[in-house]
Amino acid sequence: MTALDPRPAPDTTTALRFPTGFRWGTATAAYQIEGAAREHGRTPSIWDTFSRVPGKVRNGDTGDIAADHYHRVSEDIALMRELGVTDYRFSVSWPRVQPTGRGPAVRQGLDFYRRLADELREAGIRPVATLYHWDLPQELEDAGGWPQRETALRFADYAAVMAEALGDRVTTWTTLNEPWCAAFLGYGSGVHAPGRTSALASLRAAHHFNLAHGLATRALRAALPGGAAEVSLTLNLHAVRGHTDSPEDLDAVRRIDAVGNRVFLDPVFRGTLPEDLVRDTAAVTDWSFVQDGDLATASAPIDSLGINYYSPTVVAAGSSVSDGRSPEPSPWAGAERHVRFLPAPGPRTAMDWPVDADGLHELLVRLRDELPGVPLMITENGAAYDDYADPEGRVRDPERVAYLRAHLAAVHRAIEDGADVRGYFLWSLLDNFEWAYGYSKRFGIVHVDFATQRRTFKDSARWYAEVIARGGIES
């Protein structure tokens, strides 16, 4: 990854200017926008199955049509060109290109992503491909899913297939998006697909995600030799704060940091398991599923680390179990009976998430210190609000503009403080299927009328276009 020119962009009208060469992008995920769920050989993913379980997704929504991006690629790329983004981060639907999760790829599926990449390049936009954004082929889940080692091996094969198909068009590859959510919400608390509720399964899945990342990194480099593959991993790291500075609350912070952050950071960047996490989860597992050589594989060098950030996490010592009953299924393996989660102060988004840009600055400065020499990218950051088109057809979203401005200012401050941040990808380009919330939450800077599929720039989109054109934000 080429280092940025440290000189500011030559625009004296902007108070907070980002380095020349800073990558300005936006991001989406396949299941959330593509639709075309049964076309051209695509088979069900775990989210197709999960969304059909009564009560799992609000209003019984599914991603069958979503934002119909599969049929509207050119229209959506025209929107990106108008925004002026330099990069577009999309994910590949594994069951669209490899329906059973193994074996030969489907030509029509590969052709869709070839066309997407070609049209992006023609528009002057760099394609950034994410291999996994939670849509595991259902056939692999039926065989055991991510708690099974075999899934990591199949993922490496899939990475090689995609490198061969798109290696002449895509140079920036992200192996996994938010493996914490996929492992601990999917297999621990069960609020995400596939909806399993087992602390052991969530820890096994987390390890196999680390292994899959390392194997896929090797596969990408083997298929794209000579530095042609720029490989990254995206984590939704938790900015964890204690309610007080008491030893008990600080231990709660430690526990959540172990199972929320270091469960991935330590294997990927140090080739080790967090010793305190192993102790915290001793009642769940002895970690014997970690085989010799796994951690060395997981720590294959990468070119950048992607950070997804939305809000901080506030914890205190205690337990949600008040009367001796078993707790509700939890994503926090080993911490369920030791940690309470508290609401953070301040304004909140439509997701009821607190707005606190300082948490992003805290994460970036921490990574500056703990991972020197690792370039950082903000691969998701954004907010959901209750957007609607007014009688004139305008979508006014001043809260989102304020959110984005504050978080970009936090990124700028982190860069000034020495964090090597190379780019910012706003989540999201389009209103879309927001997982268990269905279509009830809108994260896009482009409003989508799901009945007509009409796209409309929100005020935040026009604001972001101005930021990109200036290379920075007003103070």
CA–CA distance, 89 with 33 (Å, rounded to integer): 13
Q: Report phi then psi at 242, rounded to 5.
A: -85, 145
> Degrees (nearest 5) of the Cα angle 88, 28, 452?
115
| Residue 362: CB atoms within 10 Å | 18
CA–CA distance, 337 with 191 (Å, rounded to integer): 19
For residues 209, 215, 216 and 221, what is the CA-based torsion angle, rounded to 10 degrees?
Answer: 150
Concerning whether 178 is annotated as a catalytic residue, the answer is: yes
For 256, how many CA atoms within 13 A lie in the half-sphere containing its CB?
25
According to DSSP, the β-strands at 472-473 and 16-17 are: antiparallel
Instruction: Decide: residue 424, CB within 10 A, 0-12 exposed, 13-18 middle, 19+ buried.
Output: buried
Out of 141, 178, 230, 362, pick the active-site residue: 178
Residue type at 220? L
Out of 34, 336, 362, 380, pick the active-site residue: 380
Rounded to a whole number of angstroms, the distance between the first and last alpha carbons of the chain is: 29
In 293-352, which ranges are continuous DSSP H helix?
294-298
Distance of CA 131 to the CA centre of its chain: 11
CA–CA distance, 165 with 246 (Å, rounded to integer): 54
CA–CA distance, 178 with 462 (Å, rounded to integer): 28
Tokens matching residue 252: 């709660």
Whats the size of the chain, residue-wise? 475
Concerning whether 434 is annotated as a catalytic residue, the answer is: no
Residue with tokens 């915290």: 280
Is residue 458 within 8 Å of 447, Cβ to Cβ? yes
According to DSSP, the β-strands at 230-235 and 172-177 are: parallel
CA–CA distance, 275 with 250 (Å, rounded to integer): 17
Is the previous residue joined to 375 through a cis bond, with omega within 30 degrees of 0? Answer: no
In 51-178, which ranges are continuous DSSP H helix?
73-83, 94-97, 107-122, 138-142, 149-166
CA–CA distance, 55 with 318 (Å, rounded to integer): 30
Question: 207 vs 273, 377, 474, CA distance in Å?
Answer: 9, 23, 43
Among candidate residues 180, 354, 344, 340, the one with its CA nearest the CA of residue 258:
180
Catalytic machinery residues: 178, 380
